[in-house]
Structure 1
């Protein structure tokens, strides 16, 4: 790996979340953090047992800012002063908190623009979005053959900015075009596997499907379950963040495209919702948790109750993507149906069900699904599909 530009000052949002917490763990494990060349500031919301204290109790050299994505001035100032006014080093934002809260991204970008105008230093902005932006309204009825490819971002850019995730994505792309940041929009599909952060370590979709199965006594899918998605292990997603970070700050010059081509996929697994339900049913039946291994279709009156308001979007749509650029940069996923190195674990999406089931038992069978309308930037019932 090429030498990087130091020191590195990272502003991380979502550090107590599933993806953000795993990102924090990856940053703390870096040798350049251990020898003091990487400084980390975490934006952390208050409440829920004092999230900030959870990070502080790690006993590491991390600055904690208590606030949220709605706090414009806090975010702007944190981004603008990312290097403590030393006017040197490499300011970095890794944004994992919410892909559908553009106000937060605007505030951080405003701060980075001010910093650029003051110092002339171009910042790095890595944003965790999602392939929810690629979804249709299939409701489980069919498998779409369309597969988005990030080697050509034309089709991605054509998705309206009124659709989920797209407004924030476009803000980062435009800031990259204007030149005051190097922006990267990472679009993971379903994220699976146990996280490594200080707080939330469970994913969204598989635990929700497990809880639905336990509630109804049978694994379930939306509609006929024919629609197709992809998956990626949380650690492989975070490793792509690190690949992009290292490339962006390489003293030899970055290779990863930004600007209009700032979009990056990272899919390693492919499945239909019916396949996933069948595998979930088989594994939970073997544990004695279900009376039958066979899955069934959800009744319309059950969907919202067991999977939340966005059941059709999150569990019945098509969302297919192909990772291209990440591999050219040296990304080496260690999980999935096609791990790319001989030392990789062969376990993929289906194998994660066992650990996710144990997590569900630890957290409680009655926890509500995490996908809710207040996490989206469009109101339920007004979504228009691209």
Structure 2
């Protein structure tokens, strides 16, 4: 019998790319995608006719429980901080007959760092081997900590094998219904709005990055391991926490590359950059300091130890895609 996968966020950026990758590599898998509306479902099935649709959202407990009950594997690729969804999914898996697996897509915002000031670099790089115990002990002042801990505690309580995949800033054009992430495309729009690029402070913060297709490839790898013998090479359970990154760049270099490409296309008039304060940038977008003025430095030692390497072009090589 074909493995059955249930994925939330099926019409989203990461979820859509995962569906594209997994269908290409494993057409034998039965994929069920959660979408909010019939219209989204029709868009998804027109692109991927083999996908089955479940209508609901992360608050649709009955839908989540029932679909998870039927699944061999659930991937939560929607809002990772929705605690009710985590509880419902793991409850559903525990009611099934297949001893299923649960993969949560979280985010590296838990290690955001402006301790040296906005726009200034930090020296700390969080490594998922060296620093794993500290990472798993983060209190709830760290973004995503509450949901990450709930995944592991609920999994242990119900005997469900769980893992968390943690990407940083994601870039690149996706192949699903939603083609773009928030961060860099929003920056392009802000540059257009003010007709000039900017940094927060000196723009020297350092951020880890990864292409959306590489994130999806990680999830496909985890799915393969889950559906293989005894959970494969992945460590499931309370220490099943994996960073996914493809190197790091300075915000200044990223911003300068975007401004240069936009100026060449006549979208802005200069490659020069303004230095904005947090207050000034946050007037342009309330998340500006969070997205463009903070360090986010991680190292995916565990994935690399399993033989995984990123395959996609770097962030500089893909800037032009956002401007087409």
Identify the TM-score tier after normalising by the shorter chain: over 0.9
Q: How many residues align?
A: 322
| TM-score, L = length of structure 2 | 0.93
Partner SS for 1:68: coil
Which residues in structure 2 correspond to 1:2-21 (within 5 Å)? 7-21=2-16
Alpha carbon RMSD of aligned pairs, Å?
A: 1.9
> Aligned equivalents of 1:111 and 1:162: distance in 2?
29
- Work out which of the residue numbers 181, 205, 210 in structure 2 matches 1:203: 181
1:315 alignment partner in structure 2? 292
1:157 alignment partner in structure 2? 136
> Aligned equivalents of 2:212 and 2:223: distance in 1?
17
- Is 1:96 aligned to residue 91 of structure 2? no
- Is 1:28 aligned to residue 23 of structure 2? yes
- Work out which of the residue numbers 19, 22, 29 in structure 2 matches 1:38: 29
Deviation at 1:322?
0.3
- Is 1:56 aligned to residue 45 of structure 2? yes
Deviation at 1:56?
2.3
Deviation at 1:300?
4.6
Structure 1 alignment gaps of length 5 or more:
1-5, 83-90, 336-346, 359-386
- Is 1:230 aligned to residue 208 of structure 2? yes
Instruction: Choose 20-29 or 168-177, whichever is displaced more.
Output: 168-177
Q: Which runs of 4+ in 1 moved over 3 A?
A: 175-179, 299-302
Partner SS for 1:332: coil
Partner SS for 1:127: strand
2:316 alignment partner in structure 1? 350
> Aligned equivalents of 1:258 and 1:313: distance in 2?
31
2:150 alignment partner in structure 1? 171
Deviation at 1:140?
2.5
Structure 2 alignment gaps of length 5 or more:
none
Partner SS for 1:53: helix
CA deviation string 1:207-234 (max 9, x = no partner): 0111111111111122221221110001
- Work out which of the residue numbers 238, 254, 258 in structure 2 matches 1:260: 238
Deviation at 1:16?
0.7
**Bigger helix share:** 2
- Is 1:122 aligned to residue 99 of structure 2? yes
2:160 alignment partner in structure 1? 181
Distance of aligned partners of 1:123 and 1:298 in 2 relative to their CA distance in 1, 3 Å threshold: same
1:280 alignment partner in structure 2? 258
Deviation at 1:158?
2.1
Distance of aligned partners of 1:94 and 1:202 in 2 relative to their CA distance in 1, 3 Å threshold: same
> Aligned equivalents of 2:172 and 2:37: distance in 1?
26
> Aligned equivalents of 2:2 and 2:112: distance in 1?
40
Distance of aligned partners of 1:59 and 1:273 in 2 relative to their CA distance in 1, 3 Å threshold: closer
Deviation at 1:302?
3.9
1:330 alignment partner in structure 2? 307
Indicate if the aligned counterparts of 2:164 and 2:241 stay in contact, CA closer than 8 A.
Answer: yes
Partner SS for 1:22: helix
Deviation at 1:252?
6.2
> Aligned equivalents of 2:161 and 2:197: distance in 1?
44
Deviation at 1:22?
0.4
| TM-score, L = length of structure 1 | 0.79
Deviation at 1:299?
4.6
Deviation at 1:328?
2.2
Indicate if the aligned counterparts of 1:132 and 1:165 stay in contact, CA closer than 8 A.
Answer: yes
